[in-house]
Amino acid sequence: MQRVYLSWSSGKDSAWALERLRRAPETQVLGLVTTVNRGNGRVAMHAVREQLLERQAAAVGLPLEVIDLPWPCPNGAYEELMASFVERATRAGATHMAFGDLFLEDIRRYREERLAGTGLEPLFPLWGTDTSELARDMTRPLAEGGLETWLTCVDPAQVPAELAGRRFDRELVAELEALGADPCGENGEFHSFVVDGPGFEQRVAVQPGEVVTRDGFVFADLLPA
């Protein structure tokens, strides 16, 4: 039996990876692990409020391990905090750490190197999946196993700033592909928050908030409804 913690960004790839893991009979998901910028109480990069993150974890019925990151956060401090979590996870009986990465070889190699010799093996349940096919699966209606997802962060150097706050649906996927962007945002084009989908016991109710530009990115705030 693989006893797994899932690296949980609050976005669509994490939610899809969770569904894949839960479908695997040899896998037990122990909980979710999320890094939170302690300076503003939001999920790192996705800028999702911690309150929504907690509601999301409750909706999928799993314990949430929050790793508080200082701001600014040097890479050495990040690696020290993650190493501390890995040590706790192995003591709790975990055997694997899963990630929702799709195709970036350098990111996968970094994760594998950091976990080498720790007692936790890396898992990549979505690795190598065609991202156009994956985006179409994710944007199916909820009744057919799709996700309800909203874009919370956009890199305006790669895609239009106006996409921040948009729902991740078939229309948006078509726009992304027409722009030549990865439809799943694997190159950092955008980040997202899932409010409903497979494995959710209830929908995470949200309402749109302010859209702001900060540090070169455009963030669409989501408020608890």
**pLDDT tens-digit map of 19-31:** 999 999 999 999 9
Residue 30: give its domain's CATH number.
3.40.50.620
Q: Which domain holds residue 220?
A: 2-224
| Residue 103, pLDDT score | 97
212 closest CA partner among 159, 158, 156, 148: 156
**pLDDT tens-digit map of 6-18:** 999 999 999 999 9
| Residue 2, pLDDT score | 97
Domain count, the chain: 1
| Residue 164, pLDDT score | 98
| Residue 70, pLDDT score | 86
Residue 71 corresponds to which tokens in the numbers above?
């701001």
| pTM of the shown model | 0.95
**pLDDT tens-digit map of 38-97:** 889 999 889 999 999 999 999 999 999 999 998 888 899 999 999 999 999 999 999 999
Q: Angle at the Cα of 180 (from 178 to 185), degrees rounded to 5?
A: 105
| Residue 72, pLDDT score | 81
| Residue 43, pLDDT score | 96
**pLDDT tens-digit map of 96-130:** 999 999 999 999 999 999 999 999 999 999 999 99
pLDDT grade, residue 152 (50/70/90)? very high
